[in-house]
Amino acid sequence: MKPPVLLAALLLLPASVASAGPALPHSAATNSAITKSAITHKAVPQRNSATTAAAAGAATSWQWPLAPRPPVLRGFDPPPKPWLSGHRGVDLGLGTAGTPVMSPAAGTVSFAGVVVDRPVITIDHGGGLRSSFEPVDSTLAVGEAVAAGQVVGTVLPGHCPAAQCLHWGVRDGEEYVNPLQFVLDLRPSVLLPLPGPP
């Protein structure tokens, strides 16, 4: 490939592909679909300055709730109206049930209990931001402080029918936002003109 064409090809890549980190052991086709899914879902209006900074690609102190970095099995797909069905978070793949779940940022446990038929733990990170994880078995109680990276429970089976997964949702106030914006650079690609002949 000629240098100008290679440069153009690189500029077409989303910023999240360039900064995605180490590759995971899944196919390139799956990785491409995951990246597209993470980037193309519609944005929810941003109200909180921490959320706005994350959406703009600013450095954050958040980390993935599973290690090593998991594949995204299902992306964020919020409904157009709050009462309609949709996917208000992301499903993260993992090898087996019992995998430790870590707090993506420091905070305080604001809920630990069962919702419908699934155990859920919610962590209030301050500034209106709350992370919820399901299905998770946890011994933590409401009011307990947690550090970034601290294990808050273990994944139970039952959320994804065909694979083991963890559902991660983030709220900014009362609105669900894309959790991936806190751990990936989801800024849109910017196309630059190719340099002309000298």
> Is position 197 within any domain?
no
> Is position 40 within any domain?
yes
> Is position 198 within any domain?
no
In the chain, the number of structural domains is 1
Say if residues 65 and 102 touch (Cβ distance below 8 Å): yes
> Is position 195 within any domain?
no
Neighbour tally for 47: CB within 10 Å = 13
Give 6-48 pLDDT, tens digit per residue.
333 333 333 333 333 333 333 333 333 433 334 333 333 334 4
> Is position 162 within any domain?
yes
Say if residues 159 and 91 touch (Cβ distance below 8 Å): yes
> Is position 190 within any domain?
no
- Look up the domain containing 27 and give its range: 3-182
Say if residues 178 and 131 touch (Cβ distance below 8 Å): no
> Is position 187 within any domain?
no
55: domain CATH number? 2.70.70.10
Going residue by residue through the chain (198 aa), what tens digit of pLDDT does each one get? 444 433 333 333 333 333 333 333 333 333 334 333 343 333 333 344 344 434 444 345 799 999 999 998 887 777 777 766 666 788 999 878 789 999 999 999 999 999 888 899 999 999 999 999 999 999 999 999 999 999 999 999 877 766 788 999 999 998 888 999 998 877 776 777 777 776
